[in-house]
């Protein structure tokens, strides 16, 4: 719970905002032996996918999105930059001005398709960057304190409780005003807000495995703590962390868009979907597509990753 719980009880409450996480911990307790972990997980996900229409749709969407983003960033980079003041606010769904204008144009006459694509790249980079940063740092801290136990563990968990209980956007706003908005500070703030989540899960999983036979054996053979944490514990608890990270992706993307909306997103010339919505709200009555389309993109992407996250969780649990 919440703010100030102790020790093992925390494990019961990891769920925070996402329900599915509730049973994560079961996974690693009976978990796989070290080496099989990661690639087994994805094979399992693939297996589950075959029986899940929604999962297939979500995966297809995500693959297409990634392809479009990667290819589009090259093909459309120029269109995204080229302003054409004679083509301001071209409405979408017409190829009268060329295929780049199929989704209309913005206030400076840039192709909105190109804008969306370029924004997709920045949005995905920020979200993925923040998720990875938070996962790596959070997992390391969680594993170390879980393995070491004692005072350090208590203090770390207390801090994690506070971080999770306090509205993250409020702190993010303050930090961003201090640091100044920008790509780097945005990733930093988004990652900081979510580290505690990984710390909790990693610690709970570590507590569950630290007394397992092979780890005790390593200790007996004189392996150092760091070595044990890195080579034996982390691989075992990787699956639930991967499942958590997948789930966190949508959350981080939504947080990024909210910050952009409040005017604390990345700087020009970079732009994200959230930034496009913020810009589009000024044109709602004349150019509805500028706010509508990036919002749809965010929603669809979030749904797709959440669907995928559910599959990953199932796979992680059933291993």
Partner 1 sequence: MRTLSVNRLRQKHPKAGLVPVTVAVGCVLAMVGCAGGTSASTSGEMTSLRVALGYEPMSMDLCDASSARNGMFMTENIGEPLVDVNFKTTELEPKLATSWKQVDPNTWQFELRQGVTFHNGAPLNAKAVADWVNRILDPKLGCWLYGSVLDDNVKEAVAVDDDTVNITTASPDMILPQRLAFVMIGLADGDQGKKTQKPIGTGPYKFVSYQPGAEVKVERFEKYWGKAPQFRQVTYPIRVESSVRSAMSAAGEVDIATMIANQDAKAKGAVNFTVGETIYFRIDVNLPPFNDIRVRRALSLAIDRATFVKNVYGGLGEPANAIVVPTTVGYPDDVTYPYDPAQAKALLDEARRDGVNVGAPFKVVGWAGMRGSNGSEVPDTIVAMLKEVGFNATTQLLETESMRNRLGSANDPKFGPAVVLNAHGNSLGDALVSLRGKLGCKAPQSPVCDDQLDALLKQAAETAGDHRADLLAQAFRYEHDKLVALVPVAHMADTMIITNDRVSYTPNLASSERLDISEVSAK
Partner 2 sequence: MARFILQRLRQGILSLLGLVLLVFVLARLTGSPAHLYLPEDASPQMVAAFNAENGFDKPLYIQLVHFLAGVFRLDFGESLLYGDPAVTVVLQRFPATLQLASVTMLIAVTLAIVVGAASAARRGSYGDAATRLGSMAALSVPDFWIALMGVAVFAVYWNLLPTSGMGGWQFWVLPLLTLALRPFGILTQVVRASMLDALDSDYVRVAKSKGVGPGAVIYKHALRNAAIPILTVAGILAAQVVNGALVVETVFGWPGIGNLMVTAIKGRDFAVIQAVVLITGAAIIVLNFLIDIAYSWLNPQIGLGE
Is residue 6 involved in binding partner 2 (CB under 8 A)? yes
CB under 8 A: which stretch of 61-69, 130-138, 224-232, 293-301 binds partner 2?
Answer: 293-301
Structure tokens at 36: 């099989």
CB under 8 A: which stretch of 81-89, 90-98, 157-165, 245-253 binds partner 1?
Answer: 81-89
72 vs 275 by CB, closer to partner 1: 275
Q: Return the residue matching tokens 């099989």.
A: 36
Is residue 262 involved in binding partner 2 (CB under 8 A)? yes
Give the number of residues in contact with partner 2, rule: CB under 8 A: 53
Note the helical H segments in the chain.
9-12, 24-29, 37-49, 53-75, 77-81, 112-148, 150-165, 168-179, 183-209, 213-220, 225-228, 234-261, 273-280, 289-318
Structure tokens at 91: 């409405």
Is residue 108 involved in binding partner 1 (CB under 8 A)? yes
* Interface with partner 1 (CB under 8 A), residue from 66, 71, 281, 299: 281
The widest CA-to-CA distance across the chain, in whole angstroms, is 76
Distance between CA 281 and CA 284 in Å, rounded?
5
Spatial CA neighbour of 301 closest among 98, 162, 143, 124: 124
Within residues 179-198, the interface with partner 1 by CB under 8 A covers 180-181
Within residues 85-104, the interface with partner 1 by CB under 8 A covers 85, 88
Is residue 287 involved in binding partner 1 (CB under 8 A)? yes
Spatial CA neighbour of 111 closest among 84, 78, 132, 80: 80
Is residue 284 involved in binding partner 1 (CB under 8 A)? yes
Structure tokens at 56: 């297939």
Spatial CA neighbour of 235 closest among 72, 81, 37, 65: 37
Give the residues lining the site for partner 1 (CB under 8 A). 83, 85, 88, 107-108, 177, 180-181, 263, 267-269, 278-279, 281-287
Give the residues lining the site for partner 2 (CB under 8 A). 1-4, 6, 12-13, 15-20, 22-23, 54, 158, 161-162, 164-171, 173-175, 177-178, 250, 254, 257-258, 261-262, 274, 277, 281, 284-285, 288, 291-292, 295, 298-299, 302-303, 306-307
């Amino acid at each position: 719970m919440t703010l100030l719980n102790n020790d093992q009880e925390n494990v019961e409450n990891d769920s925070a905002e996402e329900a599915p996480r509730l049973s994560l911990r079961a996974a690693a307790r009976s978990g796989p032996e070290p080496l099989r972990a990661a690639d087994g997980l994805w094979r399992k996900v693939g297996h589950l996918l075959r029986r899940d229409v929604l999962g297939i749709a979500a995966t297809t969407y995500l693959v297409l999105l990634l392809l479009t983003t990667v290819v589009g960033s090259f093909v459309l980079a120029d269109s995204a930059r080229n302003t054409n003041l004679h083509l301001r606010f071209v409405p979408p769904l017409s190829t009268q001005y060329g295929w780049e204008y199929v989704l209309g144009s913005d206030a400076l006459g840039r192709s909105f398709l190109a804008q969306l694509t370029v924004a997709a790249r920045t949005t995905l980079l920020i979200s993925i960057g923040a998720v990875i940063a938070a996962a790596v740092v959070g997992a390391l801290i969680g594993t170390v304190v879980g393995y070491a136990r004692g005072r350090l563990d208590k203090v770390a968990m207390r801090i994690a409780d506070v971080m999770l209980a306090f509205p993250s956007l409020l702190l993010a706003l303050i930090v961003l005003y201090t640091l100044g908005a920008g790509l780097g500070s945005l990733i930093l703030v988004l990652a900081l807000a979510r580290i505690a989540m990984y710390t909790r899960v990693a610690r709970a999983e570590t507590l569950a495995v630290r007394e397992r036979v092979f780890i005790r054996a390593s200790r007996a053979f004189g392996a150092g703590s760091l070595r044990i944490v890195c080579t034996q514990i982390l691989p075992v608890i990787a699956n639930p962390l991967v499942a958590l990270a997948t789930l966190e992706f949508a959350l981080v993307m939504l947080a990024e868009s909210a910050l952009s909306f409040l005017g604390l997103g990345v700087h020009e010339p970079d732009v994200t979907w959230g930034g496009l919505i913020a810009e589009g709200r000024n044109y709602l009555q004349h150019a509805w597509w500028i706010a509508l389309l990036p919002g749809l993109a965010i929603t669809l992407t979030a749904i797709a990753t959440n669907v995928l996250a559910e599959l990953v969780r199932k796979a992680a649990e059933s291993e």
